[in-house]
Amino acid sequence: MKNSTTKNDICCPKFDPAPWEEKVFQWKNKKFIKDNVFTVFYMPVNFGNTITKMNRKVEAVQGKVSDWMCLSDHTSKWNMDLYLAVDKVIPNAKNLTMSGTYVTKVYEGDFKETGNWGKDFDAWCLEKEYHLQKTYMWYTTCPKCAIKYGKNYVVFVAKIQQI
C-alpha cells in the first residue's frame, strides 16, 4: 500500500474478486491495527495520509498487510475508522483482533452506487438467513489504481450470526 511516485506507478495490487465473492470465513483472533479518518459527509479527507502512516508502522517492523485488506467503518458523517489486517502485533499502533463468522460480497462500479450495494448486501444476508452484527467496507484499490485497472471493487464484509 505504498503511495505512487510517478503518474504511471501502481501502488495497489490488482484485486481478484473470486476468493471474496459470497464467501463465509471463520476468523479467530485475526490481527488488525486501527486508526481513523476525518470525513465530510462520509467523504474521506485524510485517507491517504492515514493509510500511509499505518503502512509505515507495519513496514518498520517488517510486518505484512494480510490480503491488502483495510476495512472501513463509517461511524458518522465526520469519521471513518480503518482496520488494517496485519500479520503480527505492531508497536505504536492500536492493535486489536477480530473473531467470529464473517461473510463477504463483492461489488464493482462507481462509489455513488454504495447505497444500492448496501441494500443488496442486506437483502442477500437476509436471504441467506445471516443476522448482521457489524458491517465494514473494503475499498480494494485507491481511486488512481481503480482507474488504471479499469475496475473499482468494493467488498462488503460483515460479522454475522446465523439465524
pLDDT at 5: 41
- Domain 20-162 -> CATH class: alpha beta
Tens-binned pLDDT, residue by residue, of the chain (163 aa):
444 444 456 688 999 999 999 999 999 999 999 999 999 988 889 898 999 999 999 999 999 999 999 999 999 999 999 999 999 999 999 999 999 999 999 999 998 899 999 999 999 999 999 999 999 999 999 888 999 999 999 999 999 986 5
Buried b (16+ CB within 10 A) or exposed e, 11-39: bbeebeeeebeeeeeeeeebbbbebebeb
Q: Is the pTM of this model over 0.85?
A: yes
DSSP 93: S
Dihedral of CA 120/37/44/75: which sign? positive
CA separation for the pair 49, 53 (Å, rounded): 6
